[in-house]
Amino acid sequence: MTNIISILNHKGGTGKTTTSINLAKALNMLGQRLLLIDLDPQANLSQSLGIEDESETISEVFERKLQQLPVKKISDSFHLVPASLDLSAVEPGMYSNIDSYFVLKSMLDRLKDDYDFVLIDCPPSLGIFTQNALIASTGVIITVQAQFLALKGLDTVYNLITSVREKLNNKIVVAGLLLTQTNHTRISKDISNKLRETFKEKVFATTIRQNVSLAEASAYRKDIFAYNPESFGATDYMNLAKEILV
C-alpha cells in the first residue's frame, strides 16, 4: 500500500517544508518511489527545488482546470506536483462546495500506485488545503520546533485529525511527532522531554538538530544530500527515513 503522509503543523516555521524535501530525498535514496506535493501558497517547496513559474500547478487542479495532477519529473523515481503563489486566490471559492474537500484524494486515487510514498507539504493553516491533505492521507507527521510554546496548539492539530478519522477517512493515523531544530539550550531539552512524556512512543526517536546547512541548502535550491552530505542535517534526515522504513 502506498504511504500518503501529510507533513503538518498550523504553526509557521516548524520545519514542514525542510522535512518534506529532505525526508523525501532520503527515502528516494533508499530506493522508494516518491511523489512530493506542494500544498502551500507560499510555494517554498517548489522554489527550493528550483521549480518556478510553471504553467500547470496544484492551483489549476483546485480550480478544476486540470483533470489530473501536474507531475514534474525531478528524476525517474522522484516527482513533484508544484504550487504557485496564486494558490491563495483559489482558496476562498472552495469552501462553499463540498466536493472541494475531496479533490486531492480523488486525484491521488488514480496515480498513487505509481509510488511507494507520497509526501504532502501542508501550509501553516488548518484550512481547506490541509483538509484535502488529511482526507487523502494514510499518515501524518507533525513537526514540532523545540522552542517555547511549541506544545501549544498541538491539541488543535490532534482534534482535527481525530475528526477527519471519525467522519471522512478511517485510514489516517499519526505516524509520529518530529522534533526539529533541537539544540543544546535548556528550553530545547525541556520541550523534548515534555513532548516524550506526553506523546510517548509517538515521538520519533530521531530528532532533527538545528543545522545551518539545512537553511543554506534551500536558499541554494538543493536538498541537503546534494548541498552538504556530511552535515548533521543529512545524517538526521537519513536516520528519520530509516526509522520510517522499519
By the criterion CB under 5 A, which residues form the site for Mg ion?
Answer: 16-17, 44
| Closest separation in Å from C-beta 15 to ligand ATP | 4
Q: Which residues contact 222 (CB under 8 A, 6 or more apart)?
A: none
Instruction: Please give the single-letter amino acid code of residue 72.
Output: K
Q: Is 124 in the site for ligand ATP (CB under 6 A)?
A: yes
Q: Please identify which residue in the block is written with the cell numbers 478519522.
A: 165
The residue within the footprint of ligand ATP, chosen from 6, 16, 24, 130 (CB under 6 A), is: 16
Answer whether 128's CB lies under 8 Å from 101's CB: yes
| Closest separation in Å from C-beta 40 to Mg ion | 5
Binding residues among 164-183 for ligand ATP as defined by CB under 6 A? 180-181
Q: Is 12 in the site for ligand ATP (CB under 6 A)?
A: yes
Q: Which stretch binds ligand ATP (CB under 6 A): 15-23, 53-61, 72-80, 126-134?
A: 15-23
Nearer to ligand ATP, 112 or 133 (CB): 133
Measuring CA to CA, how many Å separate 44 from each of 82, 94, 122? 10, 22, 11
Task: Write out the H or E segment, with its range, that includes residue 62.
Answer: helix 58-62
The residue within the footprint of ligand ATP, chosen from 3, 6, 14, 28 (CB under 6 A), is: 14
Q: Which stretch binds ligand ATP (CB under 6 A): 148-156, 157-165, 189-197, 212-220?
A: 212-220
Q: At what angle do helices 212-219 and 16-29 cross, to 10 degrees?
A: 90
4 strand-pairing partners: 118
Nearer to ligand ATP, 40 or 223 (CB): 40
Nearer to ligand ATP, 100 or 145 (CB): 145
For the chain, give the longest Cα–Cα distance.
51
Q: Is 208 in the site for ligand ATP (CB under 6 A)?
A: yes
Q: Is 29 exposed, middle or buried (0-12, 13-18, 19+ CB in 10 A)?
A: middle
| Closest separation in Å from C-beta 161 to ligand ATP | 17
The residue within the footprint of ligand ATP, chosen from 57, 84, 131, 211 (CB under 6 A), is: 211
Q: Is 17 in the site for ligand ATP (CB under 6 A)?
A: yes
Say how many CA atoms lie within 13 Å of 48 toward its Cβ: 29
| Closest separation in Å from C-beta 11 to ligand ATP | 7
Nearer to ligand ATP, 32 or 48 (CB): 48
Is 170 strand, coil or helix? coil
φ and ψ of 204, to 5 deg: -60, 140
Which three cell numbers, joined as nine digits, stand for 119? 509526501
Residue among 208, 13, 213, 241 nearest 119 (CA): 241
Which positions touch ligand ATP (CB under 6 A)? 12-18, 40, 42, 44, 124, 180-181, 208, 210-211, 214-215, 218
